Structure 1
């Protein structure tokens, strides 16, 4: 009789332990799902355009000559151009590629999109001189627009605008690092583990 009671108690204990184990596994899975959803939501939050804006101004003198009769006659057209341009540098993080490894609690940033530079010039003409034999045409305006954009591209490259945009990008990605770190996850970029916020600047090369 005692033996039956002990066997019965043993069965009850086993069932209780099995139930607790299953409950623990369920809670663990729920926590993992919750953390994964939090990380995905944070990626959505930083997936906006990270934009830095700048303004540039320059003055250009445009000249063009048409020559005739073995260069004995020439007709010149010229104009003074005042250019004011608004420039934006943006990163569309919706295009960022990443992988979430729930088993190893690791999120790997595979690639970050290149910056998008938008130049919006406002060109005003002053002191326009032209002749009927050499008037301003659509080709001139195309050449002027091309020259203006080329000059602005050089100014942007030599300015702090792109660097400021990169700093804004790192600031957005640091939010993702802080969240993953607080949840006990690991953030990686191209095989490199991001161990602190300074690593974002050192290891994320754009």
Structure 2
């Protein structure tokens, strides 16, 4: 009887031990998944917060002389129209980060930025006409205004390209994306842009300005 009781005692101890081991692994694994889910959700929320329109504004002004000449009777008669144009334009350079594509690798704790949308340039010119000269045979028409508008925007595009406006917009973009870098580093995750590991804000800047 004593041996049977002793055997039962050992069987109960073994069963309790097994239950404790299984319970430990079950609850510890659940906690790890919970932490991973929390980290992933936090990172996704941060990306949503970053995903806004980053805008840099500028103002440009220029003066243009517009001329057009109509000739008749084998160029013996000509009628000219001309005007002095004063242009003031507000320009915005923006990045819509809601269109940014990224991938979250939970297993390797890595966020990969796959694509950043191209900048959007919006030009809003205000054109005023001065010293307008025209004739009934060669008046200003809608076609003239369309040509003037195209010429104004083409000139402004050149000015924007030679200005610091795009560079300033890129710097603001880098500043916004660096918030993701700070968060991932603080949580033990990694940030990549395409195939390059981003370890600092300067790495991010070099990749964006390529």
Structure having the higher Rg: 2
Q: 1:2 aligns with which of 2, 6, 15?
A: 6
What is the RMSD of the two structures over their aligned residues, measured on CA atoms?
A: 1.0
Shift of 1:68: 1.1
* Residue number in structure 2 paired with 1:44: 48
CA distance in 1, matches of 2:200, 2:37: 25
CA distance in 1, matches of 2:201, 2:12: 58
1:204 aligns to 2:197 (yes or no): no
* Residue number in structure 2 paired with 1:83: 87
CA distance in 1, matches of 2:149, 2:42: 47
CA distance in 1, matches of 2:200, 2:25: 36
Shift of 1:48: 0.5
Q: 2:39 aligns with which of 27, 32, 35?
A: 35
* Residue number in structure 2 paired with 1:153: 157
- Decide which moves more: 164-173 or 8-17: 8-17
Structure 2: gaps of 5 or more residues: none
Shift of 1:4: 2.6
Normalising by structure 2, what TM-score? 0.95
CA distance in 2, matches of 1:11, 1:33: 33
- Decide which moves more: 109-118 or 187-196: 187-196
Aligned residue-pair number: 206
Which residues in structure 2 correspond to 1:163-178 (within 5 Å)? Answer: 163-178=167-182
* Residue number in structure 2 paired with 1:74: 78
CA distance in 2, matches of 1:110, 1:145: 37
* Residue number in structure 2 paired with 1:188: 192
* Residue number in structure 2 paired with 1:62: 66
